């Protein structure tokens, strides 16, 4: 692999090892970063990405290995040393001061003061300079607590830069951002690249890698499985490096014969302020995506079919019968299953066992003389756990809160398979789900749709999700349906364009 000329190298980490409680999670990892470079650090949950960058930031000390910055090699970084060397981490949990202004936040820790007196005008000047060089349009006099999360992140970046950061580490910065905020962040990162700042950008979203990075390093189980220039990296190669295997290519079908009867027919469905005049059909065995940016109305449309917005107007037919649920209870009674956007709040009973979470809607079927046999729950859980590849202790009593996001989602999906739902409405089913679990979920959806004649309606703002799993897509924008594609007609650029 080509190593950049030495005067361009900002940082070289060599053979970094780290254990927690006797378990080694980094097995001798190298990493280098050049001036003006964005290195994407990719990997599934638990691969060791955060641990590696925390070592660079001095938050954790490595068990062995060295970090070379400039001419000096360090084996004992701490937060103060790392900071003095120009390394800054932009945290997921923001570390700003919400009750201070933007200008104060940017100057925090490096106040411009004369004999202990803070110069407000200098401070504002400095903040303005940092913000404008990065092209960030935020009023320096606003209180940080009144900003949106994406704006707060930008302020944190401005603060790092105004304090002469040379290396910026961003750990999944877009996890909580809207797509507009993400675009804004990318503009700022590009401006930083121009100024020679080196960045380590952690993500598990492959689409971001191509957009923002110059080079990609993939970690798998604590070892580096790939380091490659972004323009030479194929998607398949990246996924393989992350999960250590092939993604089974899923069969899509354009042939109308492939699917069964129409099970859901929606006509002229409207919900004030969210969507209007939406019409489509869904057939047994078919996966239909409603794709749109956040705010397109797709999410609320999915919710309305599950009975969450009874004030909606228009007609929904379920197996040719008019269906007007007053609440989700009616929908569940009609064999409609649902995954909400916020599974922690609306989907899972976080402090209950996994088996119970999976079995709840099937209780009526399990009950014998009004008693639910726990044994049936356990059998059901172990069955779906194997089919859906749920990674857990394999203990039906384990609390669902202790599983990773992707595995929680699998439990909630298994719930609807177990109670024989005929239509599934899935809102952003793989948001915050890592690549491996995502692959398992897509695979199961395909298989169950086909083998059990289930109709699946999913709403998503992730175009990759559409191309990977949908048989057909209805594109939505500002509450209207604007395009429809099926089978081989579906491609990323087309649907993105249609949605904007």
Binding positions for ligand ADP, rule: CB under 6 A: 20, 25, 43, 45-51
CA 402 to chain centre: 19
> Given CA atoms 187, 193, 195, 198 in this order, what sign does their dihedral have?
positive
Cα 60 to Cα 20, 21, 39, 53, 203: the distances in Å are 11, 14, 21, 9, 20
Q: In this complex, which beta carbon is closest to Mg ion, that of residue 296 or of residue 408?
A: 408
Residues 6+ apart with CB under 8 A from 275: 269, 297, 298, 300, 301, 476, 479, 480
Nearest CB to ligand ADP, comparing residues 43 and 455: 43
| Beta carbon nearer to ligand ADP, 41 or 269 | 41
Q: Could you tell which of Mg ion, ligand ADP, none binds residue 225, using a CB distance below 5 to 8 A set by kind?
A: none
**Which segments of 360-491 does DSSP mark as H helices, in order?**
363-366, 374-387, 405-418, 435-452, 463-469
Comparing CB distances to ligand ADP, the nearer of 45 and 82 is: 45
Nearest in space to 222 (alpha carbons), one of 207, 247, 245, 244: 244
By CB under 5 A, the count of residues binding Mg ion is: 1
Q: In the complex, what is the shortest distance from the CB of residue 171 to ligand ADP, in angstroms, rounded to a whole number?
A: 7
430 binds Mg ion (CB under 5 A): no
25 binds, among Mg ion, ligand ADP, none (CB under 5 to 8 A by kind): ligand ADP
What's the closest the beta carbon of residue 177 comes to Mg ion, in angstroms? Answer: 16
* Contact partner at residue 51 from ligand ADP, Mg ion, none, CB < 5 to 8 Å by partner kind: ligand ADP
Q: Where are the beta strands (DSSP E) in 272-347?
A: 275-283, 287-291, 313-318, 321-322, 336-339
Q: By C-beta, is 25 or 334 nearer to Mg ion?
A: 25
**What is the Rg, in whole angstroms, of the alpha carbon atoms belonging to the chain?**
25
In this structure, the strands spanning 198-203 and 480-486 are: unpaired
Q: Which of 31, 50, 155, 384 binds Mg ion (CB under 5 A)?
A: 50
Q: Of 50 and 430, which CB lies nearer to Mg ion in the complex structure?
A: 50
- Compute the least distance from the CB of residue 78 to Mg ion, in Å: 21
> Shortest gap between Cβ of 61 and ligand ADP (angstroms)?
12
DSSP 337-357: EEE-S-IIIII--TTSBHHHH
Minimum CB separation of residue 170 from ligand ADP in Å reads: 13
Identify what 20 binds: ligand ADP, Mg ion, none; CB under 5 to 8 Å per kind.
ligand ADP
- The whole-angstrom separation of Cα 370 and Cα 329 is 20
Under the rule (CB under 5 A), what is the footprint of Mg ion? 50
């Amino acid at each position: 692999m080509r190593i950049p000329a030495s005067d361009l190298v900002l940082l070289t980490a060599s053979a970094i090892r780290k254990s927690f409680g006797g378990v080694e999670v980094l097995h001798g990892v190298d990493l280098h970063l050049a001036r003006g470079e964005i290195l994407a650090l990719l990997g599934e949950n638990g691969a060791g990405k955060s641990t590696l960058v925390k070592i660079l930031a001095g938050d954790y000390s490595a068990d062995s290995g060295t970090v070379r910055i400039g001419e000096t090699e360090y084996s004992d970084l701490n937060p103060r040393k790392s900071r003095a060397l120009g390394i800054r981490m932009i945290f997921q949990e923001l570390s700003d001061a919400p009750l201070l202004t933007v200008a104060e936040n940017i100057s925090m820790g490096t106040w411009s003061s004369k004999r202990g007196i803070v110069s407000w005008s200098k401070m504002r000047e400095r903040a303005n300079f940092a913000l404008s060089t990065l092209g960030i349009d935020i009023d320096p006099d606003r209180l940080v607590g009144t900003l949106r999360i994406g704006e707060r992140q930008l302020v944190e970046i401005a603060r790092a830069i105004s304090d002469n950061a040379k290396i910026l580490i961003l750990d999944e910065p877009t996890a909580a951002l809207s797509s507009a905020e993400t675009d804004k962040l990318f503009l700022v990162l590009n401006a930083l690249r121009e100024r020679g700042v080196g960045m380590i950008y952690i993500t598990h979203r492959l689409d971001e890698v191509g957009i923002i990075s110059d080079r990609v390093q993939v970690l798998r189980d604590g070892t580096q499985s790939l380091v490659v220039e972004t323009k030479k990296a194929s998607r398949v190669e990246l996924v393989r490096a992350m999960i250590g295997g092939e993604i089974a290519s899923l069969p899509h079908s354009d042939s109308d014969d492939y699917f069964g009867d129409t099970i859901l027919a929606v006509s002229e469905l409207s919900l004030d302020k969210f969507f209007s005049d939406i019409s489509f059909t869904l057939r047994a065995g078919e996966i239909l995506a409603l794709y749109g940016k956040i705010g397109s109305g797709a999410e609320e449309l999915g919710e309305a079919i599950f009975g969450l917005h009874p004030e909606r107007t228009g007609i929904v037919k379920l197996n040719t019968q008019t269906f007007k649920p007053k609440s989700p209870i009616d929908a569940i009674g009609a064999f409609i299953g649902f995954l909400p956007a916020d599974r922690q709040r609306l989907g899972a009973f976080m402090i209950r066992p996994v088996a119970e979470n999976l079995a709840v809607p099937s209780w009526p079927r399990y009950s014998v003389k009004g008693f639910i046999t726990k044994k049936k729950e356990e059998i059901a859980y172990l069955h779906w756990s194997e089919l859906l590849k749920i990674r857990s202790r394999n203990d039906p009593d384990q609390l669902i809160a202790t599983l990773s996001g992707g595995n929680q989602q699998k439990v909630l999906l298994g719930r609807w398979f177990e109670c024989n739902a005929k239509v599934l409405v899935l809102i952003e089913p793989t948001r915050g789900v890592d690549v491996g679990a995502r692959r398992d979920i897509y695979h199961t959806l395909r298989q169950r749709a086909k083998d059990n004649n289930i109709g699946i309606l999913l709403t998503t703002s992730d175009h990759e999700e559409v191309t990977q799993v949908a048989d057909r897509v209805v594109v939505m924008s500002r509450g209207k349906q604007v395009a429809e594609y099926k089978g081989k007609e579906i491609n990323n650029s087309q649907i993105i364009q249609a949605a904007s």
